[in-house]
A and B are shown apart, each in its own frame.
Chain A
Amino acid sequence: MSTVERLTVLKTYKLYVGGKFPRSESGRVYEVSDSKGKWLANAPLSSRKDARDAVVAARKAFGGWAGATAYNRGQVLYRVAEMLEGRRDQFVREVADAEGLSKSKAAAVVDAAIDRWVWYAGWTDKIGQVVGGANPVAGPFFNLSTPEPTGVVAVLAPQKSSFLGLVSVIAPVIATGNTAVVIASETSPLPALSLGEVLATSDVPGGVVNVLSGRTAEIAAPLAAHQDVNAIDLTGADADLARDLEIAAADNLKRVRRPQAVDTDWTTDPGTDRLTSFLETKTVWHPTGSLGASGSSY
């Protein structure tokens, strides 16, 4: 009996756009290595055109996703956690390779990322009550403020935290009904591209999350300048790039979330800050009328 070691089947990593897995329209790839420099895969090197295609997909998905019930969005986000749990080993391996972590440390990161989906799944039908509500105006009017999603959000995922950081920036954006075009970590894009496969099997409608890999600056520039993008999260940009992108974003007054000066500890309680960054407040007035001033009717 021969003992030839079985040759493993390698994965072709692809983009995730509009619920499908295309290669870059440019036909370009770039080498992705682990923390020690060992080749892992050839990832798509996305172009401006890929970025624009992703925006079209995200815009197309926005109406349906924003219009879904908060309960439904919560269930879908929870389903992402379920699917991730089933592919935990794969992500532990990918995160360990990407970030140079031991198996146990990588496992802790993946567990935290799964739990983060659960956390945001629970927020979908609560944030409206926390940040919206009735306003006691001085007149005979019913007046209600409700948070609504900003629209299509370009997300520059963190460069270092390739998976927990990634999940921590995507989940709050889509929890509230926005759709996202995500630029994966430039040097460690593989966990993000694999997340696309999880999202595709988690009842997340195609186009709600679109994942691009490549040079952050090259992909971010057309997104920051895009007239059909409503907001941009600059978490994965350095100070110079962030400034340039913020200037470009001013052209249609995108909501801009600036990067932090210090590295984020993604394991801490995220709070509601990322949820509210991509919400608009709509306030609706209506006269209440009057049932007469003759006295108490209670």
Chain B
Amino acid sequence: MTFEYAPAPESRSVVDIAPSYGLFIDGEFAEAADGKVFKTVSPSTEEVLSEIAQAGEADVDRAVKAARKAFEKWSALPGAERAKYLFRIARIIQERSRELAVLETLDNGKPIRETRDADLPLVAAHFFYYAGWADKLGHAGFGPNPAPLGVAGQVIPWNFPLLMLAWKIAPALATGNTVVLKPAETTPLSALFFADICRQAGLPRGVVNILPGYGDAGAALTAHPDVNKVAFTGSTAVGKAIARQVAGTDKKVTLELGGKGANIVFDDAPVDQAVEGIVTGIFFNQGQVCCAGSRLLVQESVADEVLDALKRRLTTLRLGDPLDKNTDIGAINSAEQLARIKALADTGEAEGAERWSAPCELPDSGYWFAPTLFTNVTQAHTIARDEIFGPVLSVLTFRTPEEAVAKANNTQYGLSAGIWTEKGSRILAVANKLRAGVVWANTFNKFDPTSPFGGYKESGHGREGGRHGLEAYLAPSSPEGTR
């Protein structure tokens, strides 16, 4: 028996995208100093959504100057007043969340179900959470009167554009810093809409500056001598370049980088729940998630049963129009990312792993990749080691918990992991041995503003979220310095 779905598209009319946008510097939209522009397209249709001013070095300098100028007054505001600005922003995001969800889906390609039910609620919650910290910083465990650092240069990725903006801007502003933020070149729109929200909230000029652009603008921002704090979310390669770039400076750095998360399924796990968790782990946001559970480690005795159930489940996933409320799998964010996913999947096949893709029709235009899993994967395979950042799952097996832990930790990364078992002591024992910053037991890909997020090893430095997330934006409480 098969179910037929009638189309259930969310209306585009709730969002009004202008034909062009400027950079947001010192409270005004402006053209780039050199007049450069770039186009942002909808990944599901390749339709050009808007033309965006492209920041260069001169614009970075102007934005940093504006943020520096704004810092004096902003940092001197009583925390309670800063808090109220952030509460305003949180409320306006809630009011405009439908508009922003549609916008994000158009620009990013992810399903409206995710932007509506995950991204936007978390964005508002993040601002609401850090708003409350602004006048309580002396109680946060960083000394009685912790000081902001100054100007924060922040560079964010395209996978959760507005949520990553919230993770960066909310704690920075709550602690009294000012911000220059560069969104990714493929997803600049929600950050520019956020600029408008800052204006609606009456945020003082220069406190938040938004510079759409490419990697060169990001590099200019993180290298700028008057930036005190660098926060980056993105690839491990760029993270390492930033770590080299800031060496010998006083800049404080937090990096949230790649991952190759292990999702470990033991033989006593309830299969249906585990399968849902595996699907959430690697196919949420088309697998374009740094903490994705991209390696399935399944206990040998139940491997066949779990894989059969998983394949059955994957055939029911609906891939297509991201604005359709029934869509599970949206578009890959860009042609470039799609090419990377295809290349890595081809490598997987070439190295001898066995490929299986869900039988689904891919739309004619746009960037699409069917949910795919590989079996017969060994730890030496490229697809078991490199972050694919797409809807591709590598399946490995194990016999004992010790072997599962050893395999899970056999990676340069250390961001996330999953554990599926009914046995409480096994959860705690395995979680204890995993070298990963976030461990989801009998669940996966859950996020909350109160919950610290970040990696071990080459998955990055520092934590975002919770009380821990404040540390990245406050001067050390002791006379000794650390980054």
| Interface residue SS majority, chain B | loop
Instruction: Report the Cα distance A131→B466, complex, angstroms.
Output: 11
Instruction: Report the Cα distance A243→B244, complex, angstroms.
Output: 9
Q: Is B457 an interface position by the 8 A CB rule?
A: yes
- Known A250-B247, A253-B460, A273-B480; judge A284-B439 contact (CB<8 A): yes
- In order of increasing CB-CB distance, the 10 nearest A-B pairs are A243-B248, A250-B243, A246-B247, A137-B448, A273-B478, A271-B478, A135-B450, A286-B441, A250-B244, A247-B247
What distance in Å separates the Cβ of A223 from its nearest Cβ neighbour in chain B?
Answer: 16
Contact B442 A253 (CB under 8 A): no
Contact B450 A264 (CB under 8 A): no
Q: Other CB < 8 Å A-B pairs besides A137-B450, A256-B243, A285-B446, 4 of them?
A: A260-B481, A264-B480, A268-B479, A285-B441
Contact A130 B141 (CB under 8 A): yes
Q: Is B214 an interface position by the 8 A CB rule?
A: no
12 contacting pairs across A/B (C-beta < 8 A): A135-B448, A139-B446, A139-B448, A141-B443, A145-B466, A230-B457, A252-B457, A264-B480, A273-B477, A273-B480, A281-B454, A282-B456
Q: Is B280 an interface position by the 8 A CB rule?
A: no
For A242, what are the chain B residues with a Cβ–Cβ distance below 8 Å? 248
Which residues of chain A (91-136) have a CB below 8 Å from chain B? 130-131, 135-136
For B236, what are the chain A residues with a Cβ–Cβ distance below 8 Å? 253
Point out the residue from B244, B441, B461, B479 that lies within 8 Å of A247, measured CB to CB.
Answer: B244
Contact B247 A281 (CB under 8 A): no
Contact A285 B443 (CB under 8 A): yes
Contact B244 A281 (CB under 8 A): no
What distance in Å separates the Cβ of B244 from its nearest Cβ neighbour in chain A?
Answer: 4
Point out the residue from B243, B438, B481, B482 that lies within 8 Å of A283, measured CB to CB.
Answer: B438
Q: Digit string of B432-465 for contact with A (CB within 8 Å is 1, else 0)?
A: 0010111111110010101111101110110100
Which residues of chain B (199-251) have a CB below 8 Å from chain A? 236, 239-241, 243-244, 247-248
Q: Is B483 an interface position by the 8 A CB rule?
A: yes
Q: Chain A: how many interface residues by the 8 Å CB criterion?
A: 44
For A247, what are the chain B residues with a Cβ–Cβ distance below 8 Å? 244, 247-248
Q: Digit string of B281-307 for contact with A (CB within 8 Å is 1, else 0)?
A: 000000000000000000000000000
Contact A283 B439 (CB under 8 A): yes
For B452, what are the chain A residues with a Cβ–Cβ distance below 8 Å? 135, 145, 281, 283
For B248, what are the chain A residues with a Cβ–Cβ distance below 8 Å? 239, 242-243, 246-247
Contact A253 B257 (CB under 8 A): yes
What distance in Å separates the Cβ of A180 from its nearest Cβ neighbour in chain B?
Answer: 16
For A284, what are the chain B residues with a Cβ–Cβ distance below 8 Å? 431, 438-441
Contact A282 B436 (CB under 8 A): yes
Q: Is B317 an interface position by the 8 A CB rule?
A: no
For B146, what are the chain A residues with a Cβ–Cβ distance below 8 Å? none
Instruction: Report the Cα distance A297→B416, complex, angstroms.
Output: 35
Interface residues of A, Cβ cutoff 8 Å to B? 130-131, 135-139, 141, 143, 145, 150, 230, 239, 242-244, 246-247, 249-253, 255-258, 260-261, 264, 268, 270-271, 273-274, 277, 280-287
Instruction: Report the Cα distance A150→B241, complex, angstroms.
Output: 22
For A230, what are the chain B residues with a Cβ–Cβ distance below 8 Å? 457
For B454, what are the chain A residues with a Cβ–Cβ distance below 8 Å? 281
For B147, what are the chain A residues with a Cβ–Cβ distance below 8 Å? none
Please give me the residue from chain A that is nearest to B236 by CB atom.
A253
What distance in Å separates the Cβ of A97 from its nearest Cβ neighbour in chain B?
Answer: 27
What distance in Å separates the Cβ of B250 from its nearest Cβ neighbour in chain A?
Answer: 8
Instruction: Report the Cα distance A277→B478, complex, angstroms.
Output: 12
Please give me the residue from chain A that is nearest to B431 by CB atom.
A284
Instruction: Report the Cα distance A270→B476, complex, angstroms.
Output: 13
For B20, what are the chain A residues with a Cβ–Cβ distance below 8 Å? none
For B441, what are the chain A residues with a Cβ–Cβ distance below 8 Å? 284-286
Instruction: Report the Cα distance A111→B450, complex, angstroms.
Output: 43
Instruction: Report the Cα distance A214→B456, complex, angstroms.
Output: 31
Residue in A141, A243, A252, A282 with the greatest tally of chain B CB atoms within 10 Å? A282
Contact B243 A253 (CB under 8 A): yes
Q: Is B407 an interface position by the 8 A CB rule?
A: no
For B434, what are the chain A residues with a Cβ–Cβ distance below 8 Å? 282
Please give me the residue from chain A that is nearest to B243 by CB atom.
A250
Q: Digit string of B361-399 for contact with A (CB within 8 Å is 1, else 0)?
A: 000000000000000000000000000000000000000
Contact A277 B240 (CB under 8 A): no
Instruction: Report the Cα distance A249→B468, complex, angstroms.
Output: 24
Please give me the residue from chain A that is nearest to B439 by CB atom.
A284
Instruction: Report the Cα distance A208→B224, complex, angstroms.
Output: 40
Q: Is B155 an interface position by the 8 A CB rule?
A: no
Residue in B255, B434, B448, B453 with the greatest tally of chain A CB atoms within 10 Å? B448
Instruction: Report the Cα distance A280→B457, complex, angstroms.
Output: 9
Q: Is B163 an interface position by the 8 A CB rule?
A: no
Please give me the residue from chain B that is nearest to A240 by CB atom.
B248
For A239, what are the chain B residues with a Cβ–Cβ distance below 8 Å? 248
Instruction: Report the Cα distance A256→B247, complex, angstroms.
Output: 9
Instruction: Report the Cα distance A280→B480, complex, angstroms.
Output: 19
For B247, what are the chain A residues with a Cβ–Cβ distance below 8 Å? 243-244, 246-247, 250
Contact B482 A273 (CB under 8 A): yes
Please give me the residue from chain A that is nearest to B412 by CB atom.
A252
What distance in Å separates the Cβ of A65 from its nearest Cβ neighbour in chain B?
Answer: 15
- Known A282-B436, A283-B438; judge A143-B451 contact (CB<8 A): yes
What distance in Å separates the Cβ of A186 from its nearest Cβ neighbour in chain B?
Answer: 21
Contact B482 A257 (CB under 8 A): yes
Please give me the residue from chain A that is nearest to B454 by CB atom.
A281
For A243, what are the chain B residues with a Cβ–Cβ distance below 8 Å? 247-248
Q: Is B358 an interface position by the 8 A CB rule?
A: no
Q: Is B427 an interface position by the 8 A CB rule?
A: yes
For B53, what are the chain A residues with a Cβ–Cβ distance below 8 Å? none
- Known A264-B479, A273-B477, A282-B439; judge A253-B448 contact (CB<8 A): no
- Known A255-B461, A286-B427; judge A281-B468 contact (CB<8 A): yes
Contact B457 A285 (CB under 8 A): no
Please give me the residue from chain A that is nearest to B441 by CB atom.
A286
Contact B460 A283 (CB under 8 A): no
Contact B437 A282 (CB under 8 A): yes
Contact A258 B482 (CB under 8 A): yes
Instruction: Report the Cα distance A282→B431, complex, angstroms.
Output: 9
Instruction: Report the Cα distance A213→B434, complex, angstroms.
Output: 34
Point out the residue from A258, A260, A271, A281 that lies within 8 Å of B463, measured CB to CB.
Answer: A281
Point out the residue from A250, A255, A281 that lies within 8 Å of B437, measured CB to CB.
Answer: A281
Contact B141 A131 (CB under 8 A): yes
Q: Is B125 an interface position by the 8 A CB rule?
A: yes
Please give me the residue from chain B that is nearest to A134 by CB atom.
B450
Instruction: Report the Cα distance A136→B449, complex, angstroms.
Output: 9
Instruction: Report the Cα distance A282→B453, complex, angstroms.
Output: 8
For B479, what are the chain A residues with a Cβ–Cβ distance below 8 Å? 260, 264, 268
Contact B483 A250 (CB under 8 A): no
For A249, what are the chain B residues with a Cβ–Cβ distance below 8 Å? 243
Residue in B240, B257, B412, B466 with the greatest tally of chain A CB atoms within 10 Å? B466
What distance in Å separates the Cβ of A123 from its nearest Cβ neighbour in chain B?
Answer: 14
Instruction: Report the Cα distance A137→B476, complex, angstroms.
Output: 27
